[in-house]
Chains A and B, each alone.
Chain A
Amino acid sequence: MKTLYHDGDTALHRLSPRVKLIGLAVTSVVLFWLHSPVALGIAAFASIIVFSTLKLKWSEIRRQLRPLVVTLGLVCLFTLAFNGSADALTVFLRLGSLMLLAAAVTATTGIGDFIDEITLAAMPLERLGILRAADVGLAIGLVIRFVPEVVSRYKTIREAHLARGLRPRPLTVAVPLIILTLRSADEIAAAIDARGIRRQK
């Protein structure tokens, strides 16, 4: 099981998870409120500075950002095709900044801390009887934990294709990937139940 968290002792590592998450939420709102390419450019530059303070190795940066860059590229291409270059530039700067900041928060905040903060934030909803706060924290923690797991499983299936001289095709990769992920999800759900992490009452 790999994780996007990186050990370290940078200013961002030392910052409280709550401050980081609130800061990220506020910054997202501000970024969507800004429209000027100059202002967004400054924001993007600031995001690069923040991310660079993590002092990650190139291999770690690649692992952390590759899926984000692919997504950003696709969104920008669609925007360019349908809305023109000005909008595509806005989307690139806005989402690029946001992705870098989110990646910086993910790289410096452990899943346990994430779960604690999200559980705390959901407590008012629990008091209203809408949901169980611990479930929200656990669900989000599991999503964060599973993303690298699914990627690693995808690589294994791809390698199994190549080892047998087969070209990996979307369907032949997706089917075993889904089956393996569901099977493992079943076992993890059973482990959560068996350990009493999610109580019945």
Chain B
Amino acid sequence: MDIRFNQAEARYDGRIVLHPLTLSLSERRVGIIGLNGSGKTTFARMINGLVSPTSGSVTVNGLDTVKDLDRSRAQTGFIFQNPQNQIILPLLKDDIALGLKAQRLPKADVESAVAAILSRFGISHLADRRSHELSGGELQLAAFASVLVGGPNILIMDEPTNQLDLKNRNLVERTIGELTEDVIVISHDLPLVMGVDRLLLFHEGRIAADGRPDEVIACYREIAA
């Protein structure tokens, strides 16, 4: 991945939620930790173009997230905290097809892409199931499928193991480990981010630590104490 923040700042109702930040990310697996309200979700949303910088710029693989929003967004998939809100249509296969239909692909291509992505995550048997019938882990895998069917090469996840029991947490962690796409994961689940190539710690809208997971987590423990 090639993500660059160039003096990018975010304000909400005049309040700074992310101080001007210059940073580039090129590692395959990046983790983000920090206390609630520290600016980590805003940072991740800026990469997908869901939040526009109030000053400065953000580029993803050379594409500006404001000037070239559609193309830059096509590079990044985003998994939200609550997968229930991520699944837009009740039937899983309909929901996964939705993003492809928006690209006006032929029906046969849509159907084969849906079948392929369901098979990739081992959830072909869930195609005709309604999302409210799925377990937390299945729902999270369904969210992965709905996002990755569009072919992004970077996947951003906001608290992917939030509210999952141990079995489903392990399932999601295993799935994240097997992803071939580059990954940015925000989490309070410290074991989940232990294996990343680079870990960022956000505190009060700034990066308080940036480096190897063990060093950054030690710093996080000091802040949280």
Give chain B residues whose Cβ lies under 8 Å from the Cβ of A116.
101
Please choose the segment from A19-27, A48-56, A186-194 that sits at the chain B interface, where 4 or more of its residues have CB less than 8 A away. A186-194
Which of B84, B89, B128, B150 interacts with A141 by CB under 8 Å?
Answer: B89
Which of B84, B97, B147 interacts with A112 by CB under 8 Å?
Answer: B97
Interface residue total, chain A, C-beta cutoff 8 A = 29
Contacting pair A195 B74 (CB below 8 A): no
Question: What's the dominant secondary structure at chain A's contact region?
Answer: helix
Interface assignment of B85: CB less than 8 Å from any CB of chain A: yes
What is the bound-complex CA distance between A1 and B91, given in angstroms? 10
A142 with B150, Cβ < 8 A, contacts A2-B132, A3-B130, A190-B50 known: no
Give chain A residues whose Cβ lies under 8 Å from the Cβ of B70.
196, 199-201
Contacting pair B102 A111 (CB below 8 A): no
What is the bound-complex CA distance between A199 and B99, given in angstroms? 10
CB distance from A13 to the nearest CB of B (A): 13
Query: Which single residue of chain A is at the shortest CB-CB distance from B73?
Result: A196
Give chain A residues whose Cβ lies under 8 Å from the Cβ of B85.
184, 187-188, 191
Question: What's the dominant secondary structure at chain B's contact region?
Answer: helix
Give chain B residues whose Cβ lies under 8 Å from the Cβ of A194.
48, 50, 73, 77-78, 80, 147
Interface assignment of A62: CB less than 8 Å from any CB of chain B: no
Interface assignment of B204: CB less than 8 Å from any CB of chain A: no
Query: Which single residue of chain A is at the shortest CB-CB distance from B131?
Result: A1
Interface assignment of B38: CB less than 8 Å from any CB of chain A: no
Query: Which single residue of chain B is at the shortest CB-CB distance from A112?
Result: B94
A188 with B90, Cβ < 8 A, contacts A195-B99, A199-B102 known: no
Contacting pair B90 A195 (CB below 8 A): no
B-contact 0/1 string along A163-201, CB 8 Å cutoff: 000000000000000000000100110111111111111
Which residue numbers of B lie inside 8 Å of A, CB to CB? 45, 48-50, 69-70, 73-74, 77-78, 80, 82, 84-91, 93-94, 97-99, 101-103, 128, 130-132, 146-147, 150
Pull 19 A–B residue pairs with CB atoms less than 8 Å apart, ordered by A.
Answer: A1-B132, A2-B132, A7-B128, A111-B90, A112-B91, A188-B85, A191-B80, A191-B85, A193-B49, A193-B50, A194-B48, A194-B73, A195-B78, A195-B98, A196-B74, A196-B99, A196-B102, A197-B98, A199-B70
10 smallest CB-CB distances across A and B, nearest first, come from A112-B94, A194-B78, A3-B90, A187-B85, A1-B132, A197-B102, A195-B99, A191-B86, A199-B70, A111-B89
